[in-house]
Structure 1
Amino acid sequence: MHLPPVGLGTMGIDDPDAIETALSLGYRHLDTARIYGNEAVVGDGLAASDADRDAVTVATKLWVDDLGAEDVAPTARESADLLGVETLDLLYVHRPRGAYDPAETLPALDRLIDDGRVDRVGVSNFEIDEIDRAIDALDAPLAAHQTELHPLFYRPELLEHAREHGYTVVAYSPLAGGRVSEIDPVVEVAKTHDATPEAVAIAWATAKEPVVAIPKASSERHLRANLAAVDLDLTPEETAAIDAVEREAELFPE
């Protein structure tokens, strides 16, 4: 699935103006979820924007309570209505927990694709064995795996699996919950490039195939900065220094 290097994570955004501003600046990937409670906000921002709807990927996620075979279709329809779209471009299983059953949930998602309600299917917060089971259970190709990825929490084996199986890795929380400014190698690289640690963290993540990032931002200044971060080119030595940071901080464990 082709996604721009930087999209917009919307968790916590409750103002449609932030969505409209992001779209006006060139964002073309909006990521939300049922559990965020803001699908209508994202939809209102999208409706107010002049952006070509066909050029914008709108993604949402089914929460663990919505994953029973009989719940998938009505919940997806409700999400589409809240978002103001006919078709959900990308629909994720948010976590493989609760009512999730690969043999029941994933065929229900396939049926949504067959009915034209959903374009692509993804998974989120899965382990490799769970991704393998999802790939086996789906008729449609797996489009994306959304996972926490930042300098303090990075699992190269997930990226290797994605490369082998041809799906995109969507990195959430790429700024480590605001902690990237405390990571010495990131700060040193930022000084070398006269950039911010946040820009370096996004550039580091999006330089890894096949990763795209969805940092959350609501102010125009931060939206612009995050979008521009992909223009920052890190040297192999700089990338290696950040790769070597001790992994210690998963922000959203089970």
Structure 2
Amino acid sequence: MEMIDTQGIRIPRLGFGTFRMPGMGCQPVVESALALGYRHIDTAAMYENEDAVGAALAGAGVARGDLHITTKVWHDSLQPDAVHRSFDTSLKRLRLDYVDLFMVHWPSRDMDLPAVLEAMQKLKDEGRTRAIGVCNFTLPMLKTTLDDVRAPLACVQVEYHPFLSQARLLDFLRPKQIPLVAYAPLAQGRAAKDPVLARIGEKHGATAAQVALAWLLDQDGVIAIPKAQHKESQQSNLGALKVRLDDEDRRAIAALPKDQRYVSPPFAPKWDA
């Protein structure tokens, strides 16, 4: 598994997402992923599955140093004291002494960004999280975070797949050597049914979903965290690591619509800002 080094941590480029897997039913799913070789597990307070992820980690027999565990604080807890309470609860549920990455899940319109980042930095200074990051921030928010507050972001997590461009964000992050973590990398299942991706897959003996993941992993500084409840899909996603796209494939994927955003809840920021 290829890794990306950032802010003192190493992140496996293909991780395992757990969104929409609430409750203890998530435990056997994560156990399966770990058994197949996944070492990057992404969860969040809002997913309501940290207990299950923690149970899976506890019984997996994988050395803690070989794992990368990410969790996140929800947008209703973006006050310094609340950030610490959320983190304490997450850590307890995960049964861990520390996490590798602690992130702001969504920005809040009324958050005091410097205060939030200072609270997260304190957790890093204490060794309770090895690194910090943010999700779903607009470019102006990131410019404030990095240029004004000078927060040591290890990565930025956003929706990214073959139907949504993140070119502007990548152009901003790459010179700063900050990786982008792509959530919903299969466009919530749509990539698996796309005829263009399927035709490319036929050429390489791969599925359309594998092509979508390979396209992301083909890009410098991009990490992908697909979710998959069934062992067969988990194994298939790992198969994307072996797919090698050529220039013809890249041109075909570049021609796909790039304005399809599928995750935009009412509290989301204005993306065009």
Note whether the superposition's TM-score is higher than 0.5.
yes
Asked if the contact 1:24/1:51 (under 8 Å) is kept, the reply is no
- Root-mean-square deviation over aligned CA pairs: 1.4
Counterpart CA distance in 2 for 1:62 and 1:47 is 22
Match of 1:34 in 2: 45
Distance in 1 of aligned mates of 2:11 and 2:126: 23
Asked if structure 2 preserves the Cα contact closer than 8 Å seen for 1:67 and 1:98, the reply is no
In structure 2, relative to structure 1, the CA distance for the partners of 1:119 and 1:197 (3 Å cut) is same
8 Å CA contact 1:29–1:56 kept in 2: the answer is yes
Query: How far 1:213 moved relative to its partner?
Result: 0.3
1:5-24 map, 5 Å: 5-13=13-21, 14-24=25-35
1:147 aligns to what SS in structure 2? strand
Counterparts of residues 1-254 of structure 1 (less than 5 Å): 1=6, 2-13=10-21, 14-98=25-109, 100-136=111-147, 138=149, 141-253=152-264, 254=268
Mapped contact 2:16–2:226 kept (Cα < 8 A): yes
Runs of at least 5 residues in structure 1 that lack an aligned partner in the other structure:
none
Question: Size of the alignment, in residue pairs?
Answer: 254
Distance 1:133 1:240 in 2: 34
Shift of 1:79: 0.5
Distance between the aligned counterparts of 1:21 and 1:99, measured in 2? 40
- In structure 1, what is the Cα distance between the partners aligned to 2:251 and 2:171? 17
Are residues 117 and 18 of structure 1, via their aligned partners in 2, closer, same or farther at CA, if it must alter by over 3 Å? Answer: same
Do 2:145 and 2:151's aligned partners in 1 also have CA atoms closer than 8 Å? Answer: no
C-alpha distance in 1 between matches for 2:76 and 2:128: 20
Alignment partners' CA distance in 2, 1:201 and 1:170: 14
Aligned counterparts of 1:120 and 1:99: Cα–Cα separation in 2 = 24
- Aligned pair in 2 of structure 1 residues 137, 42: CA closer, same or farther (>3 Å)? farther
- Secondary structure of the 2:118 match is helix
Q: Report how far residue 139 of structure 1 moved.
A: 5.5
Q: Match of 1:3, SS? A: strand
Distance of 1:59 and 1:10 partners within structure 2: 11
TM-score (norm 1): 0.95
Residues 131-157 of structure 1: per-residue CA shift (max 9 Å, x gap): 111124555521010010111112211
* 8 Å CA contact 1:159, 1:169 repeated in 2: yes
Q: Would you say the 8 A contact 2:164–2:258 is kept in 1? A: yes
Q: Check conservation: 2:165, 2:259, Cα contact below 8 A.
A: no
Q: Distance in 2 between matches of 1:139 and 1:112?
A: 16
Q: Report the alpha carbon displacement of residue 225 of structure 1 after superposing the two structures with TM.
A: 0.9
The sequence identity of aligned pairs, in percent, is: 35
| 3-state SS of 2:108 partner | coil
Instruction: Flag the 1:133–1:36 CA change in 2: closer, same or farther, 3 A.
Output: same
Q: Which runs of 4+ in 1 moved over 3 A?
A: 136-140
User: Quick check: 1:186–1:201 contact (8 Å CA) kept in 2?
Assistant: yes
Q: Distance in 2 between matches of 1:180 and 1:70?
A: 40
Residue segments in structure 2 that go unaligned for 5+ positions in a row: 1-5, 269-273
Q: Counterparts of 1:139 and 1:45 in 2: how far apart (Å)? A: 36
